[in-house]
Amino acid sequence: MNSHIMPTYARLSVTFARGEGAWLWDENDKRYLDALSGIAVCNLGHAHPAVHDAICKQSAQLLHTSNLYQIAAQEKLANQLTEMSGMTNVFFSNSGAEANEAAIKLARRFGHSKGIETPTIIVMEKSFHGRTLATLSATGNAKIQQSFSPLVDGFVRVPYNDIAAIEAVLKNNTSIAGILVEPVQGEGGVNIPNSDYLIEIRRLCDEYDILMMLDEIQTGIGRTGKFLAFQYSGIRPDVCTLAKALGNGVPIGACLAHGKASSVFVAGTHGSTFGGNPLACSAALAVLETLNTSDLIAQATQKGDAIAKAFNDKLSDNPHIVDIRHLGLMIGIELDRPCGELVVRALDAGLLINVTQDKVIRLLPPLIIDAPQINQLVDTLSALIQELTA
């Protein structure tokens, strides 16, 4: 262990040397099936040729000029994203937390434009929006907020998937400028709301003239079986944030706006030195082109259904399974007990998984996972779960 790295992670004792598709190899050439995709980042798997070629080509031409100048790849990427999302314009950043920071700033500026003295945003319990001070304050996790007070003011928290709670706040608080919510909570335990949840939030945002802001950082770029998860609901938010899989490993974030939100930022109100540089945008363009010229997004639904069914079949007689839930290739298996030790057991068995909220096994396999790999994932993890709960 390198003592010169700040101990902000309880890292597992493995170092990966190379990857290809859904596989990773460590320094001893042991192979692992990656069912986490770098936490929903490598949707196209590792060393995808299109992303590789785009990075190599762009790095030989131009890496960075700054946003003081026009950037052709950035303009092309903005066009692609707005076309695929139905949004109007984009601010580019380097991460999901930065994209959410932009959304929070946008909502506050929108609120001030309406004469609200202290613009406030409704956020959800068990949510996760990032680790910067503002996004940490918006996050519904007291454990990761601990020891970072004073937190940023301007947030009101309600239970997830509870429209009545949102309505109660709106009726009694005239300072609300927006609602920030994940279409599916990832870090919160793969929590999938009612099918009309986003539709009802859209209705309330229209009724009260506030911004509907969706954090699609984990759910976006095909993960749930749609390019963006909100497309299941047939609505369009005012703000949508992206990152993670947009660059397939190259850091890039995006804050998309539409309608009344699209004209809130003007020159000088927000910025980023590195955001949307030629290298990051070229990688993202390769990702979008790959998705647009394949059926990987549609396959995410089919593969997710197959994985969920296989786990249900394998674990049907296990009374310690609370729930198996999924949307596309975003899968959660909830146990009736803490199961964090499964991460190490799975690593020993050549499988990469994650446990969140102590009791939920979170699976985020790459969209390119194939049938034999799905079988290996289900067989290996099911055996480990049966062993743990025996």
Residues classed as catalytic: 128, 215, 244
DSSP-assigned letter for residue 370: -
Q: How far apart are CA 230 and CA 217, in angstroms?
A: 12
Q: Are strands 89-93 and 23-26 parallel, antiparallel or unpaired?
A: unpaired
Q: Are 359 and 322 in contact (CB under 8 A)?
A: yes
DSSP notation for 116-180? -SS-EEEEETT----SSHHHHHHS--HHHHTT-PSPPS-EEEE-TT-HHHHHHHHHH-TTEEEEE
Q: How far apart are CA 280 and CA 86, in angstroms?
A: 22
Q: Are 236 and 29 in contact (CB under 8 A)?
A: no
Phi then psi dihedrals of residue 177, to 5 deg: -110, -20
Q: How far apart are CA 201 and CA 233, in angstroms?
A: 11
